Amino acid sequence: MKQLWLTAKLDIVESLRARWFQIYTLVFGGIVALLFLFGLTESRVLGFIGLSRLLVTYIQLTMAILPIFVLITTVRSVAGDREAGVFEYLLSLPVSLGAWFWGKILGRYVVIFAPVFAAMLGAVIWALISGIEVPWGMFGYYTALLAAMAACFLGIGMLISALARTTDMAQGAAFMVWLSLLLFLDLILLGVMIQGKVAPEVAVSIALANPLQVFRTAALALFDPQLIVLGPSAYVILDAFGAFGYQVFALIYPTVLGVVSAAIGYQIFRRGDLP
């Protein structure tokens, strides 16, 4: 356990000094600052006003940015460290492979979750100071959703890092994964359904296997419980899960996907060449 914490701490310190982390923090802090600056708390959409409106916009933007950011930075730094000889040296020290791999994930998880949460927390603190009502339920669920999203894409990133032997390959693979998830979000599924080659239930199931779609639908469900904006797909989702059931599914499924991906990555890592 000591080795795991030492590795996690090491990864946190390494990341805090990395440029990607500074940009990452700046992006999410900047988003919240800009949303306040443009008076988003004063505008109204679907009956949402105040901090709820800001949080809805923030989570939508985060869903667009966080996955690719986490995927690329994770594979870049892990595969980059391996190429640069960091693994060769640090893994010559008496640290178990389990403590190293999971410690790295733990440290990185803290580093990628902290800025997105801190930005949201900053918005809540500012709202409290300004006397704007804070939707605590929404804040709590979005926090959990962000935590699940970070776990999901970090796990996938670590799997790609374990599979790819070079930084270029890892980056390319990460980008392809993100692009595939993005395409299956709407474009390809819509095309398939229009052609009528698969049943709508199958298309919806494929969509729900896509973590990006799961997050998007969960974020929508919070301010549109009947998922009216999704059209007929909403019937399949709500029949299968129910509104609350879907919110729980949206937290558990991506987290499990991330943990399983990381576990597969660990098996590949410990059975192969380390540097």
Partner 1 sequence: MIRFDKLGKTFRRHRVLDDVNLEIALGERVALIGSNGAGKTTLIRCLLGEYTHDGLVTIDGRSPRTERTLVLGSIGFVPQLPPPLKMPVGQLIDFAASLCGTDPQRMFDLAKRLGLDVDSILQRPFVKLSGGMKQKLLIAVALGRDAKVLVLDEPAANLDPEARKIFFELLAERAESATMLISSHRLNEVSTLVNRVIELDMGKVVLDDRVADDVSLAGLLACRISVKRTEPAFAKAMTSWNFTDLGGGMEWQGDVAGPDRLRFLGMTSRYVSLISQLSMTETAAEKVGTEKVGAGKTAA
Q: How far is the CB of 13 from partner 1 (least distance, A)?
A: 5
Q: Contacts with partner 1 in 39-98 (CB under 8 A)?
A: 84-97
Site string (95-124) toward partner 1, x via CB under 8 A: xxx---------------------------
Q: Which of 1, 17, 37, 39 binds partner 1 (CB under 8 A)?
A: 17
What distance in Å separates the CA atoms of residue 165 and residue 159, rounded to the nearest whole number?
Answer: 12
For helices 167-185 and 51-84, angle between their N-to-C axes, nearest 10 degrees: 150
Q: Which of 18, 27, 68, 169 binds partner 1 (CB under 8 A)?
A: 18
Complex with partner 1: residue 90 or 259, whichever CB lies closer:
90
Backbone angles phi, psi at 268, to 5 degrees: -65, -45
Nearest to 51 by CA among 146, 149, 136: 136
User: In residues, how long is the chain?
Assistant: 275
Q: How far is the CB of 108 from partner 1 (least distance, A)?
A: 14
The yes or no reply on residue 20 touching partner 1 (CB under 8 A) is no
- Tell me the HSE value of 90 on the side-chain side, using a 13 A CA sphere: 21
**Cα separations in angstroms, 191 against 19, 145, 151, 160:** 40, 29, 30, 28
Q: How far is the CB of 17 from partner 1 (least distance, A)?
A: 4
The yes or no reply on residue 23 touching partner 1 (CB under 8 A) is no
The yes or no reply on residue 169 touching partner 1 (CB under 8 A) is no
What distance in Å separates the CA atoms of residue 86 and residue 92, rounded to the nearest whole number?
Answer: 10
Q: How far is the CB of 263 from partner 1 (least distance, A)?
A: 19
The yes or no reply on residue 271 touching partner 1 (CB under 8 A) is yes
The yes or no reply on residue 22 touching partner 1 (CB under 8 A) is no
Nearest to 149 by CA among 231, 222, 251: 251
- Which amino acid, 162? A
The yes or no reply on residue 224 touching partner 1 (CB under 8 A) is no
Kindly provide the b/e burial profile for residues 205-228, where b requires at least 16 CB atoms within 10 angstroms of the residue's own CB: eebbebbbbbbbbbbbbbbeeebe
Complex with partner 1: residue 10 or 134, whichever CB lies closer:
10
Complex with partner 1: residue 9 or 49, whichever CB lies closer:
9
Note the residues at the interface with partner 1 (CB under 8 A).
2-3, 6, 10, 13-14, 17-18, 84-97, 271-275
